Amino acid sequence: MSDSLDRSTKINLLKEPVVKKLCEVLDKNSNKGWRKLGEIVGTDRRFKISSDDMETCSLQVLQVEGSPSYMLLRLMGERGCTTGHLMDYLQTLGNSEALQCLKPSALQILIQPQSVAVISGHNLRLSCHAVGKSPVQYQWFKSKEEVPNSFSPDLVRSPVHVKDAGFYICRVNCGDTFEFSQWAQVDVLNVAVSHGQSYHSLEGRLKLVIQPQSQELNIGETLQLECGAVGRPIPRYQWHRNGVPIPNATKRKLMIAHVMQEHHGRYRCEISSSTERMWTNEVDVVIDDVYAIGGVLGSSEFLLNSLPEQLYATDKVALLIGNLSYKNHPQLKAPMVDVYDLTNLLRQLNFKVVSLLDLTESEMRNAVDEFLLLLHKGVYGLLYYAGHGYENYGNSFMVPVDAPNPYRSANCLCVQSILKLMQEKETGLNVFLLDMCRKRNIHDDSTPNIVLRVTANIVFGYATCQDAEAFELSSSGFTNGVFVKFLKKRLLDDEKITVVLDRVAEDMGQFDATKGKQALEIRSSLSERRSLTDPILPSDSTDHSHSRQWAKAHELPETMCLNFDCGAQIKLGFAAEFSNVLVIYTHIIKKPEDMSFCQAHVTDFSQDLDVDPKEMNRETPEETGIYLLSSSLPQHCLYTRLSSLQKLREELVFTVCLQGTFTAMDEDPVHWTKSISIGKPLIARLDLHRAMRRNSCLQTCMMPHSPSYSPCHSPGPEHRLHLHYGPHQTQDYSRLSPQHHCLDVYERLQGAVGGCGDSYYENLSQCHYEPTYDSGGVLSSSPGRFSIPIEASDDINELQTVFINSLQLQQQ
């Protein structure tokens, strides 16, 4: 054994015990700790540790068991820092105790056991090999129980049985020192292998051995689907229904108790490992419109009459719009995160959800039209909007991303006009969640003339009170706006929707950072105990054609395997971040032995999509702007993010270019190309780019004397305000109480909102606001490029403390 670790090892590959011990040493040392180490690394241009990075590290103290040192080491590892570099830095730092952590111990585990999936009746082998300064002894455990007679580095089961499935770990002893290996999961599949069929190798490619089977069930019965693959490492599973991932369905077996009509559809499972992905067959699950009550089958109409206390929806549909990239107004950050989080939550409640970012006026109107087509008697309809907005005479207006500056109310969508159209559908529940400002537009003096019916099924949840701003919390990573931060913790509660919103309002009222400035306002005419968790029971007369069209707009293109003449094989995969944002990734499955380099990238996209070539074919999802979906994408690929799919006018056709160099040829790389067509993916199928086809939303919004029809310009007083914390903290405000601090900065901004001129920037400079400038030296209100997302603390008290202590306000 050498007297030190391999200096070429990347520090993000260091063993967890080594990293944990090193972080403990650096965290507790104030003079020679992580902060001083960061300053030393910051002088090395290779790893670019900035002041923002250091601020990110310091905020880790707010996390449960958070470690600034761990964050610093992670950032260094992501940028290529090796153990050798780290040892040199620690030597410069003069922290001998930290340096000693990188010295080898008396015992090292060289080979860790790996999780594996095997077929019952085959052989199982788990391996754990270690070296030490004296003889090494082994003892295997299954969960907490010792495995009898398991004293060798290899645990063998021949043959393996279903009862052997479970979690295994090995304890290694060397004198008085001992270490545990990592856990290894063993999954044993009970498969009847037909004559002539065999599955020998556990290494390399996955092998699918169990396919799901189609089923026909009655309402109230239990759905059970099963699939399975063998391989090492153990495969991962994700079930899909109608092309949409099912939340929390990540096991081999999918079980849904008490199925309803909403569970009808086509199911398949995505099976993946760290290097490859495959799909099972797609099977039909048919739910007959009958229900077993006391052993008797009845129709859905009989069921409704038999269970008077249980309320049902005939369907659930939701439209979520997040506008952030405004052309003529301050840009926002939180709507993207808010829409993403609410999409996942609403899908868990069996809503059909379409989530869209950055829509123009015509696209918003057409999206609303498509949404209205899905509504009929008894449907629960939910509309969420995050972005710029305003309110006049009790009517709320949503501002599209292409609204001029100053904009006219005719360029905006009136929420009450949409409600009027929803009422005509005789829906069971209408929920509006408006995460926008409600300041008065003094330049819009039109008189509202929208007559709404009196119905007992309307709920409005306003993120802020009338004539007030809504806030978004901005940090170096991604965070929700204030409203959704608290809403997402309550949305799945099985309570009346107004009770849920009441509790959200109470939670928001305890948040010191916005206390006295933003309060949730609830308006409701709901007379029944309607809940977003209510089950779905379709009406016998329901027309499902539009619902099927909606589902088609969320189907992903099939994964493709492309074979090139040179012998290389490429996998082309797809994922959806939002309904109008598609992720394309390429992965090299096979390359010729005489090819020294091989890479596949995509190019030649339609000009409708306005794709930036500099952000295509990147080695990490974050480099191309994929932050929220990055953890669920396969590794070792090239990634491209295509946004604004609603602008796509024709089928999406692009080129896959394979670039390779051969060992025997000292020439430029050779290129091969294939043209690929994937039709109109996701929301592109609905042709939202067309100019107001049905005009239903437009006609109502543009009624004479309605609040959206006005020749007057609006100055855009809809500003959302950033509560921004960052590295530019000052001591001047630290002497103030949190309430005094917020009030002082807030009052300074009151004179600036809706105004202009030098006084605005003078006021902000007194609040220690640091402006940014564009390439021409002009003051810019746009935020910088998004950083890699950082997990935010769930502890409200800790989070509000850091926001108050380092509060900055930035006008949006």
| CA atoms of 79 and 56, how far apart (whole Å) | 16
Residue 416 amino acid letter: Q
Other Cβ atoms within 10 Å of 704 Cβ, number: 8
Which token pair is 44?
A: 């090395």
Q: Where are the beta strands (DSSP E) in 441-568?
A: 458-462, 471-474, 521-524, 560-563
Cα–Cα distance measured from residue 669 to residue 655, given in angstroms and rounded to the nearest whole number: 18
What is the C-alpha separation between 24 and 69, in angstroms, rounded?
8
Give phi and psi for 81, each to the nearest 5: -70, 135
Who's near 365: CB < 8 A, 6+ residues apart?
413, 692, 697, 698, 701
Q: Which residues contact 662 (CB under 8 A, 6 or more apart)?
A: 592, 594, 595, 596, 670
CA separation for the pair 14, 270 (Å, rounded): 31
Of 353, 695, 380, the residue nearest 537 (C-alpha): 380
**Residues annotated as catalytic (active site), given as ranges:** 388, 437
Q: And the tokens for 129?
A: 């090999």
| Integer Cα distance of 798 and 795 in angstroms | 5
Cα separation, 141 vs 13, in Å, equals 25
Q: What is the H or E stretch that residue 304 is in?
A: helix 300-306
Whether cis (ω within 30° of 0) applies to the bond prior to 535 is: no
Find the distance separating the first CA and the last CA of the chain, reported in whole Å: 60
Element (H, E) at 253: strand 253-256
Extract the tokens encoding 692: 């107001």
Residue that the structure tokens 């596949």 belong to: 600
Question: How far is Cα 252 from Cα 230, in angstroms, rounded to an integer?
Answer: 11
Cα(468)–Cα(436) distance, rounded to whole angstroms? 9
Contact (CB, 8 A) for 62 and 806:
no
Answer yes or no: are the C-beta atoms of 86 and 93 closer than 8 Å. no
CA-CA distance, 678 to 557, in Å (whole number)? 6
Structure tokens at 185: 């999961």
CB 416 within 8 A of CB 366: no
What is the pairing mode between strands 413-414 and 395-398? antiparallel
For residue 552, what are the contacts with CB-CB under 8 A and spacing of at least 6? 685
Per-residue exposure over 759-793, b if at least 16 CB sit within 10 Å of its own CB, e if not: ebeebbeebbbeeeeeeeeeeeeebeeeebbbebb
Tell me the C-alpha distance between 767 and 762, whole Å.
Answer: 9
Rg (CA), the chain: 29
∠ Cα 52 631 794 (to 5°) = 60
**3-class DSSP assignment, residue 388:** coil
Q: How far apart are CA 634 and CA 656, in angstroms?
A: 19
